[in-house]
Structure 1
Amino acid sequence: MSLRTLRTLVAIAQYGSFVRAAEAVCLTQSAVSLHVRSLEEDFNAPLFDRTRRVPVLTEAGHRAVERAREILSLYDGIASELGDQGELTGRLRLGAIQTALAGSLPAALAALRQAHPRFRVMVNSGMSAELAIRIDAGELDAAVTTEPVKPHPTGLVSAPLYQEGFWIIAPPGMESSDAKSLLQENAFIRFDRRAWAGRTIDTELRRMRLRVQTEMELDSQDAIIHMVASGLGVAVIPLSRRELAKLPGLTCLPFATPQAQRTVVLLEREDRPAGRLAAALAEAIRAQAGDEAINE
């Protein structure tokens, strides 16, 4: 048994086929098959059900994948634990929602790079629900997301970073309208309900018994803001105070009473594969978030 064979096993479980796993770990398909046979001989147990056309893990295979992830997490974390004089070294595969990319995250990453030149962060963007699935699959070490909303993968843990309020945004010149009138009497540009923020908005609209006239449903907050600024409707989006101040002269009112809030968190697997690296990133983000930060 070697670390490379364990990485192959985890890749098969992650990508669902020997072919895609081979591409991910830069091996031939025959080499991947040899790795599986080697592990099955070492463990004296079949890891895949070979009566199926696609690789399906046996019960023993599921246990082996779980242990392999734990072993690889411990090994990959060694570099981050051995930095000279407290220096952070290693790589963090990070996911982030769009509001984080437009908010505190870039400044936090810049501060970390200056303090720890050998600490590398690879950033991918996406919606919270999508990023949670990628963490669960082992594609990401951690992600800056909104607080999990069911359904979501089990086995994930979150640490709070900062809070954002939900705001009704409308074209300029509508300041005299109340919140209820804005939402019911204008075309509504809805935040995609596949996103956790979109589900939160939808739940609150139902609680308030407000019927809206949905004409668009978008997954980009920037796109929603541009649509509203062009006079095409009103919307509800989460914003930090810093982002709120940058809006191009739009009408802004708090959404719900009391104002609906969301918590932005650092999401990880329970075994916390990124360890000290993720913890350092969380502290850097809180430092940049200012009075909206949530300190543990």
Structure 2
Amino acid sequence: MSIRMLKTLIAIADHKTFSAAADAVFVTHAAVSQQMRSLEESWQVKIFDRTTRTPEFTPVGRALVSQAREVVRAYDNIVPAVLGDGGLRGEFPLGAVATTLTAIVPFSAALLKNSCPELHLRLYPGLTNQLIPQVERGTLEAALISRPPALAPSLVWRSIAQEKLVLVTSHKVQSDDAVEILRSYPFIRFSRDAVVGTLIEKCLSDNGIAVTDTMELANLEAIYGMVIADLGISIVPDPCIKLANEPPLRRISLRGLNAPVRELGLIYRKDTTKLRVIEEVATSIDKALAIGTFSSDSIRLAT
């Protein structure tokens, strides 16, 4: 048995098939199969039920995956624990919702690189409900997400910022009445698979506003592009960090509609061994938020 075999076992649990796990750990499908048979022979247990087309974990196999995660996590922390650097070197897998990738993530990552030059963020974009289970499993050490309705007891929530929802239109739209605009123009929905999409849906429903859907997108930049092209209007979170060159859009307040606020935060496991790194990530985000505008000049001045 080796740590590499345990990592392959975990990859199978995370990626569901031997082929996908092989890609994740950079070996062949045959090597994955061989490693798993070696584990079964070494431990004298049946890890997989091979009577199905795609091998599935037995109850013993699922229990072994859980223990393997703990062993691998402890192994990965051996050197940082001895050196006393808190893990501030090497790679740190961080998930992030797509709306944060334009400003808050690159800005804070630049600040983090300056303070921790030996630490490398490996970013994994995704929706909140996709990133949470990856943090729970230990595939990601932390994730910057929209606050979900509930979190598992094994996770910690650290609030980062709040973003109001705003109506965005092209400059051809002259009205300042949000309700009138929403009822009169084609509506570009923020994906309802995203937490912010459900907040927007609730806002419209609570206020009895019927919109005419034209498309549904999950990417903030894509929504901006469609709105700039005058293909519709949309409701989006107003970014907590502005771009130096903001898209040419009108942003109209939803005051009077009791619109919910999107809360951004970091989640991580209570038993994480990378708390020092998470604190550095959070500190870098706080610094970026205090500056408020993302540009090459703001990075230069901050570092």
TM range (shorter): 0.7 to 0.9
Equivalent pair of 2:186/2:231 in contact (CA under 8 Å): yes
Aligned residues: 291
- What is the DSSP-based 3-state SS (H/G/I as helix, E as strand, rest coil) of the residue aligned with 1:63? helix
Per the alignment, do residues 256 and 44 of structure 1 end up closer, same or farther by CA in structure 2, a change over 3 Å counting? farther
TM-score (norm 2): 0.84
Equivalent pair of 2:46/2:60 in contact (CA under 8 Å): yes
1:130-209 matches, within 5 Å, as 130-136=130-136, 138-149=138-149, 156-172=155-171, 174=173, 176-209=175-208
Q: CA deviation at 1:84?
A: 6.0
Instruction: Output one character per residue of 1:64-87: Cα deviation in whole Å (capped at 9) or x when no partner.
Output: 001111111122133444556678
Which of 157-166 and 26-35 deviates more? 26-35
Per the alignment, do residues 211 and 83 of structure 1 end up closer, same or farther by CA in structure 2, a change over 3 Å counting? farther
Per the alignment, do residues 277 and 87 of structure 1 end up closer, same or farther by CA in structure 2, a change over 3 Å counting? closer
Per the alignment, do residues 26 and 101 of structure 1 end up closer, same or farther by CA in structure 2, a change over 3 Å counting? closer
Distance 2:44 2:139 in 1: 29
Which of 216-225 and 79-88 deviates more? 79-88
Q: CA deviation at 1:114?
A: 1.3
Corresponding residue of 2:45: 45
Superposition RMSD on alpha carbons, in Å?
2.8
Distance 1:42 1:181 in 2: 69
1:30-179 matches, within 5 Å, as 30-83=30-83, 88-136=88-136, 138-149=138-149, 156-172=155-171, 174=173, 176-179=175-178
Corresponding residue of 1:236: 235
Distance 2:26 2:222 in 1: 38
Which of 271-280 and 186-195 deviates more? 271-280
Instruction: Output one character per residue of 1:167-212: Cα deviation in whole Å (capped at 9) or x when no partner.
Output: 0112226454322111112111111111111111112211111111
Equivalent pair of 1:81/1:88 in contact (CA under 8 Å): no
Which of 248-257 and 64-73 deviates more? 248-257
Per the alignment, do residues 237 and 60 of structure 1 end up closer, same or farther by CA in structure 2, a change over 3 Å counting? same
Equivalent pair of 1:80/1:276 in contact (CA under 8 Å): no
Instruction: Output one character per residue of 1:244-276: Cα deviation in whole Å (capped at 9) or x when no partner.
Output: 883425142136643421111113345436432
Q: CA deviation at 1:284?
A: 1.4
Distance 1:222 1:32 in 2: 39
Q: CA deviation at 1:32?
A: 2.8
Corresponding residue of 2:295: none
Equivalent pair of 1:169/1:253 in contact (CA under 8 Å): no
Distance 2:30 2:231 in 1: 56
Which amino acid in the other structure matches residue 206 of structure 2? R
- What is the DSSP-based 3-state SS (H/G/I as helix, E as strand, rest coil) of the residue aligned with 1:69? helix
Which of 23-32 and 92-101 deviates more? 23-32
TM-score (norm 1): 0.85
Which amino acid in the other structure matches residue 96 of structure 1? A
Equivalent pair of 1:80/1:90 in contact (CA under 8 Å): no
Q: CA deviation at 1:233?
A: 2.0
Equivalent pair of 1:143/1:267 in contact (CA under 8 Å): yes
Equivalent pair of 1:92/1:278 in contact (CA under 8 Å): no
Structure 1: unaligned runs, 5 residues or longer: none
